[in-house]
């Protein structure tokens, strides 16, 4: 998959603000970014739409795509709960002359960076603390208590990988983090 398009990876634990930052960057047409829609076997949450937020497919369909080597990266994040990036999604964005922006889990983000080291800017969005992250997850009101505890436990493991990213972006003030993200991405795209 050759292209002169670039890949912008945003990874972070749930509740860190990465999705908000990615959506902010997508409002800037001068960056020529398009969102990589991940495939997942989990059900939609809240107002999520198929083909906009995710490609919602069954676990069986997901496994068929794995067998066919259709993914750039994939992971079983929780039991029978798969997430992945289809090669066709990257091709779609690059063929439109745009750069790909990802809102993706930590392992997936590092996997993309490893496969495309020169074309990828990998940014880890770090919450100010695990307590603040847990508070943000509760305020979302989309998860059960059990799921929140699962996400907090996973977050402490994910924080260990922050050092493997090109940049750690602390999100203790959302406006500051959005501005810094814009500058980082703009500088990378103009290299």
Give the confidence band of 80 by pLDDT, cuts at 50, 70, 90. confident
The residue among 57, 59, 86, 88 whose CA lies nearest residue 74 is 86
Domain assignment present for 157: yes
pLDDT higher at 70 or 12: 70
Q: Is residue 2 part of a domain?
A: no
Are the CB atoms for 7 and 119 separated by under 8 Å? yes
Instruction: Please give the mean pLDDT across all residues of the chain.
Output: 90
* 56 in any annotated domain: yes
Q: Is residue 153 part of a domain?
A: yes
- What's the pLDDT score for residue 46? 86
96 domain-assigned: yes
* CATH code (residue 77): 3.40.50.300
pLDDT of 154 reads: 79
What distance in Å separates the CA atoms of residue 136 and residue 141, rounded to the nearest whole number? Answer: 9
Please check whether residue 103 is in contact with residue 19, taking contact to mean a CB–CB distance below 8 angstroms.
yes
Residue 132: per-residue pLDDT: 76
Q: Where does the pLDDT of residue 135 fall: very low under 50, low under 70, confident under 90, or very high at 90 and above?
A: confident
Token code pair at residue 107: 């392992």
Domain that holds residue 47: 7-189
Mean pLDDT confidence for 163-191: 95
Counting other chains too, the contacts that 29-32 makes at CB distance below 8 Å and 24 or more residues apart are 31/99, 31/182, 31/185, 31/186, 31/189, 32/97, 32/98, 32/99, 32/189
Residue 64 banded pLDDT, cuts 50, 70, 90: very high
Look at the block and give the residue holding tokens 């992250």.
133
Averaged pLDDT for residues 78-95: 92
pLDDT for residue 1: 58
Q: Hey, what's the torsion of the CAs at 17, 41, 142, 160, to 10 degrees? A: -40
Nearest to residue 111, comparing CAs of 23, 176, 38? Answer: 38
When pLDDT is cut at 50, 70 and 90, the band that residue 2 belongs to is: low
3-state secondary structure 56-119: ECCHHHHHHHHHCCCEEEEEEEECCEEEEEEHHHHHHHHHCCCEEEEEECHHHHHHHHHHCCCC
Let me know if residue 1 belongs to a domain: no
Total domains present in the chain = 1
Q: What pLDDT is stored for residue 156 in this prediction?
A: 79
């Amino acid at each position: 998959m050759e292209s002169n398009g670039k890949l912008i990876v945003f990874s972070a634990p749930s509740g860190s603000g990465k999705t908000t930052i990615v959506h902010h960057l997508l409002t800037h047409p001068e960056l020529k970014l398009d969102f990589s829609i991940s495939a997942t076997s989990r059900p939609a949450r809240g107002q999520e739409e198929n083909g906009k937020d995710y490609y919602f497919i069954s676990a069986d369909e997901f496994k068929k795509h794995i067998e066919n080597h259709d993914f750039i990266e994939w992971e079983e994040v929780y039991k029978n709960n798969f997430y992945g990036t289809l090669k066709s999604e990257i091709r779609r964005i690059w063929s439109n002359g745009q750069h790909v922006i990802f809102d993706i889990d930590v392992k997936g983000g590092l996997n993309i960076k490893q496969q495309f080291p020169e074309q990828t800017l990998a940014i880890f969005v770090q919450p100010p603390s695990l307590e603040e992250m847990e508070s943000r997850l509760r305020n979302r009101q989309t998860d059960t208590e059990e799921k929140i505890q699962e996400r907090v436990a996973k977050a402490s493991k994910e924080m260990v990988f922050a050092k493997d990213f090109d940049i750690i972006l602390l999100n203790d003030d959302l406006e500051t983090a959005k501005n810094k993200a814009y500058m980082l991405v703009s500088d990378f795209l103009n290299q």
